[in-house]
Structure formats: structure tokens, C-alpha cells
Amino acid sequence: MLKLSKKYPKKRAFITGAGSGLGKELALHLANDGWTVGITDLKREPIEVVATEIEKRGGKAQLFVFDVSKRDEFKAASQTFLNDNDGIDLLINNAGVGDGGPFTTYDLERWDWMVGINQMGVIYGCHNFLPDMHQAKSGQVINIASAAGFAYIPRVSSYNVTKAAVNALSECLHYESKHLNVDVSVVMPTFFKTNIASGWKGSEKSKKGAEKAVNNSNLEATDVALEILTRSGNGEFRIILPKSARWLNRFIRFFPRQYRKMIFRGEEKRRNRKKNA
């Protein structure tokens, strides 16, 4: 049994973006321990499939179809969940999208889309559920960010910015909530097998590059989900995974100049390959 299940015997969780990938696997691990899980997606069909699996595993599913970037829709869903379940124990802000392109050609409409989902979606989730947790003096928030929140690389500025924002928000909420017995964790993984590039709006070439990085990973979403739930249950604030990501984080922190030189060398090689193609 997960430590989170022992800590929160009422077992009430709300997970955004649970129709596939990491969100789905988080929901299924909780279902194994008999949690009631509010699962969200833009479309009903994916979460209906997940709901069936949750019920098979002994959990209870509550379905919500809405866009996390829509403030009013998120508020309505959160109020329904809180009313129906008399509160919440675990919030996982997981919904997110990936995209990329050079800053100068990345239009503001795509910035609005990226910020709306990856950043504002997390803010709305915390804003709607944290007051209830603070009042109850109990609860856990897990915000899914990315290693892109500390390792900034070219041509994905919008993604980097939103994930860095989730990291910063999570640290602020960690300080504001700990004395009220509410824990906050932020998760910063590198690539693992998921469908993060499904909504990619950039070039087909850049999309294929992102999909290749995801598919070449040895990390499966179910293993990542279990590690997140385990480590957050152990009280970890910053969950960086896998081990190679933790080494990268240390390298950037202690050797920032070397990291920047490494990025510049990579960019020079890329430009030369493009010139000679």
C-alpha cells in the first residue's frame, strides 16, 4: 500500500490530464489502493476507458470533461468534486502539452496556448483546491513540471518558461502550506514514454525529434507514476528523475558556464549540419 493511502484514509484525489500517459498511470496506481479519483480530459472517451479500469482495480472514478486553461470550467469541476466528496486529499496537476520552435517565429497565439495549459492550468488547480486543504489542515499537491524547468535549451522557450513557472509556484506554495500540514511536491522528469507531443503545433521535423526522444527513453509512464507517488508520500518536495536528471541538475547548478558552453557547441554543430545538408 502507498504511504499516501495510509496518510489519507479518505483517499480522495483529483488528477488533470488523466485520459492517457502519466495521468492515467497515476490514477490506476491510486485505484489499486481504493481511491476515489476525479479524472479529467478534453474528451470523454479516453477517461471513460480509464474509469472502467479504475473500477476494475477497486477504485471509484468521477469524470470531468473540460479544458484546464478555462478558468470557469476548472472552477466548476473543482467545486463539484469538493461537494460530492466532502473535500480532497490529493491534487495532481498533470495536464500539459509540448511544443517548440525558434522564439522569433513562435507566434503569440501559441504562447497563449502553452501558458494557458502548462502554467495557468496548474495555477487554477492550486487556486481551486488549496484553500480547502488549508482549512482542513491536511492534503498533498503534486505539480508535474519537467527537467525543462531547470535545464533550458534552445527552440523550446515557451515550454521551458511554463515549466520553470510551475517549479517556482510549487516552491512558494511549499513554504506557504507546510505549517498547515499540507505538502507540496514538484516533479521534474526528463523524457519518458508518453504522448506529450500529441498536440505539437511546431514543424513536423521538430515534432518527430520530440517523439524520437520520448520513444527512445527506457522510462515507462507506469514506473514514473509509482516513483512519483512513492517519493511524494515520503515527503520529498523536488522529485527529479531519473538518476541522470539529478546529475544534470547538479551539473547545471555547480558548473553553469560549462553547461552554457556545451549548449553553444551543440548549436554550432546543428548549424553546420544544416549548412552542409
Catalytic annotation, residues: 159
Residues belonging to the chain: 277
Dist CA 24 CA 40 (whole Å): 10
> Cα dihedral angle (58, 225, 9, 177), rounded to 10 degrees?
-150
Q: For residue 177, give the C-alpha cell.
A: 502550506
- Residue 65: strand, helix, or coil: strand
- Residue environment code for 166-185, b if the CB has 16+ CB neighbours within 10 A, otherwise e: bbebbeebbeebeeeebbbb
Name the residue among 96, 110, 226 with its Cα closest to residue 158: 110
**Residue 198 to residues 81, 97, 232: CA-CA distances in angstroms?**
28, 8, 28
Across the strands, what pairs with 12? 36
Dist CA 32 CA 226 (whole Å): 11
Name the residue among 225, 200, 223, 222 with its Cα closest to residue 211: 200
Alpha helix locations (H) across 8-156? Answer: 21-31, 44-56, 71-85, 108-114, 121-136
Backbone φ and ψ for 215, nearest 5 degrees, come out as -70, -25
- Residue 194: strand, helix, or coil: coil
